[in-house]
Amino acid sequence: MANEITLAYIQEMVRRREGRLGEKQQLLRLIGAVGRLADAIEREEEMGTALGDILYNTMALANTYGIDMEDCVPAAVPVPPQEKKAARNLDFRPL
């Protein structure tokens, strides 16, 4: 796909902007972002910005430790089974 944004691209943009921060500072920023998400959920407000902050700070923390997110995410994300189960024939007609 054209204009596809990858984890590698995001991580590189974060690296260029942040450089290398101290581990403690970066972890505190990530924890703060998670706290803002919790507040948004509690108040039933828009959560998009808070989720973006979490992604950004996660990438920055990975950069601090030299972790390539494209290498570690596949292990954390379940892979769908290769064979799909046969669709069940459900009858939704009114009784």
The rounded Cα 3 to chain-centroid distance in angstroms is 19
pLDDT band, residue 90 (cuts 50/70/90): low
Residue 35 belongs to some domain of the structure: yes
Number of domains making up the chain = 1
What is the domain range of residue 46?
22-71
The C-alpha atoms of residue 63 and residue 21 are separated, in whole angstroms, by: 9
The HSE-up count of residue 43 (CA atoms within 13 Å, CB side) is 10
The C-alpha atoms of residue 61 and residue 15 are separated, in whole angstroms, by: 10
Residue 63 belongs to some domain of the structure: yes
User: What pTM, to 2 d.p., does this model score?
Assistant: 0.72
Quickly count: other Cβ atoms within 10 Å of residue 13's Cβ.
13
Residue 9 belongs to some domain of the structure: no
Residue 84 belongs to some domain of the structure: no
Residue 65 belongs to some domain of the structure: yes
Helix 48-64 to helix 7-18 angle (10° resolution) is 70
Average pLDDT of the chain is: 83
The residue whose two tokens read 């992604």 is 55
Residue 8 belongs to some domain of the structure: no
The residue whose two tokens read 């450089």 is 19
Give the mean pLDDT of 71-87. 70
Question: For position 73, what pLDDT does the model report?
Answer: 82
Residue 3 belongs to some domain of the structure: no
pLDDT band, residue 82 (cuts 50/70/90): low
Residue 93 belongs to some domain of the structure: no
Residue-wise pLDDT for 26-36, tens only, equals 999 999 999 99
